[in-house]
Structure 1
């Protein structure tokens, strides 16, 4: 069987190509999609991510507002910033860059985002709607994983999908999205016993555990589909790529796999929000 490299750059470009005409149509009607990003503090990785998102917006003709708050910002001050963006009719999407400084109640801040502008899928209401199958804006990395599966016409119905990770913006929502597509889903985590044995049964593997090179090729079923959502220092994913490549039938590279599609899904959700014309 021919091995398939699930090239995220190709998928991301396809999404952006489809957005261009939609953005032009909105602009012809006097609306320019606008994404506001909030960065609290001076985390270098977060600054890089925010800059990348801003550049991606600019290339497509999406307005990008960058709000940079000082490290000592309080929860109340952050909530006030979010309230102002919620009430701004020219802003269609709000992204609060994670993580925030320790003194801030991150969950409270996420919940303050208007669900109509929650283009990063971080509110509990947005998560609930996604799980029930009618959410407008799933978390962007889970949405990216599903978009890659769709682009490469990978069948999910009746397949056993194993998700390694249970974070509220990655592991849990991607498990729900896979279940909604009629996969049989096992969600694993740091307390799971006999993880290699479970992965041996998986037709689809989603690596979202946050540990570099954690999943080994010897744990995989021959010919399985492996989607690596890991982001670790040095552009290393959550799978040991060399050994997993040998075992997998299809696999995402790192970098160039899930990451580029995640940013494209954020842009798509912002355009979707502008089109919904709720503001």
Structure 2
């Protein structure tokens, strides 16, 4: 079967061009330019890379940005005070705290401290709950990116059976809600406690995998003509890779791709869409706060 590769890099670039035009229009009209604040705690290498990419993306679309770095020894109370300061800064429209955080800091406390109308990661309970309302607010960035890929590739979701493997708060859980509410799909959620995973995945018209377990989905677990969206990204180390490591997805791409109608690669599929969604959310936050 000939499959179509879903190119997240291209779609992300298209979205950034659209945002750049809107920022230029706002500037010409003398309206507020979107401003994203980023807090990074510690010196985790992967987090540093993600943050660098976010800063680069802000520059590319004409956003203002503020980068705040703190040592991993910062106390939870001090970090919460810094978050309060950003919450009260009227010039900042969107705001993220890069995860993971050091073990002594509660992710839940930090997330809920962020003002929901500035929560461009879409993690607060207020935004999360709005997914199933008629007025969704700021959507979780990765699932938002997945839905945008499906939309821009004109992949029909209404009435289709979507199987989501992975039930995390960041990806699987909100994605299943968005597929139900906005996509009008029939959704099955699988997770690490699911027995005989293949019996569920083989029934999927659209299979979406967000576990972080390289090669979890093999060819015998996918039905002919399915749409496969691989959200998992894991850094796998080994001497066989030119850099000493490679990013791998949850799907055995080479074996699975020939059976599909559409499939995302890893890297270059869902990954670039997460940052594009973050930018879309920041623009939306600005529009809501400064019409």
Q: Give the TM-score taking structure 2 as reference length.
A: 0.93
Partner of 1:246: 258
Partner of 2:84: 83
Once residues 102 and 26 of structure 1 are traced to their aligned partners in structure 2, the CA distance between those partners, rounded to angstroms, is 41
Structure 1 position 75, deviation (Å)? 1.3
Partner of 2:276: 264
Structure 1 position 2, deviation (Å)? 3.5
Contact 1:116/1:273, CA 8 A, preserved across alignment: yes
Q: Could you say what secondary structure the match of 2:184 adopts?
A: coil
Once residues 97 and 215 of structure 2 are traced to their aligned partners in structure 1, the CA distance between those partners, rounded to angstroms, is 28
Contact 2:17/2:61, CA 8 A, preserved across alignment: no
Once residues 212 and 112 of structure 1 are traced to their aligned partners in structure 2, the CA distance between those partners, rounded to angstroms, is 34
> How is 1:209-228 mapped onto 2 (pairs within 5 angstroms)?
209-228=211-230
Contact 1:120/1:139, CA 8 A, preserved across alignment: yes
Is it true that 1:24 corresponds to 2:36 in the alignment?
Answer: no
Partner of 2:132: 131
Contact 1:35/1:91, CA 8 A, preserved across alignment: yes
Partner of 2:51: 50
Structure 1 position 26, deviation (Å)? 2.0
Q: Which string of whole-angstrom CA distances, capped at 9 and with x for unpartnered residues, describes residues 157-188 of structure 1? A: 11000000011011100000000121000010
User: Which stretch of structure 1 is more off in the superposition, 7-16 or 114-123?
Assistant: 7-16
Structure 1 position 156, deviation (Å)? 0.4
Question: Which runs of 5 or more residues in structure 1 are unaligned?
Answer: none
- Give the length in aligned residue pairs: 279
Q: Could you say what secondary structure the match of 1:249 adopts?
A: strand
Once residues 133 and 68 of structure 1 are traced to their aligned partners in structure 2, the CA distance between those partners, rounded to angstroms, is 37
Contact 2:3/2:258, CA 8 A, preserved across alignment: no
Q: Could you say what secondary structure the match of 1:39 adopts?
A: strand
Q: Could you say what secondary structure the match of 2:189 adopts?
A: strand
Q: Give the TM-score taking structure 1 as reference length.
A: 0.97
Once residues 212 and 199 of structure 1 are traced to their aligned partners in structure 2, the CA distance between those partners, rounded to angstroms, is 16
Partner of 2:38: 37
Question: Which runs of 5 or more residues in structure 2 are unaligned?
Answer: 236-245
> How is 1:172-211 mapped onto 2 (pairs within 5 angstroms)?
172-180=173-181, 181-211=183-213
Q: Which string of whole-angstrom CA distances, capped at 9 and with x for unpartnered residues, describes residues 126-183 of structure 1? A: 1101133422211110000000000000000110000000110111000000001210
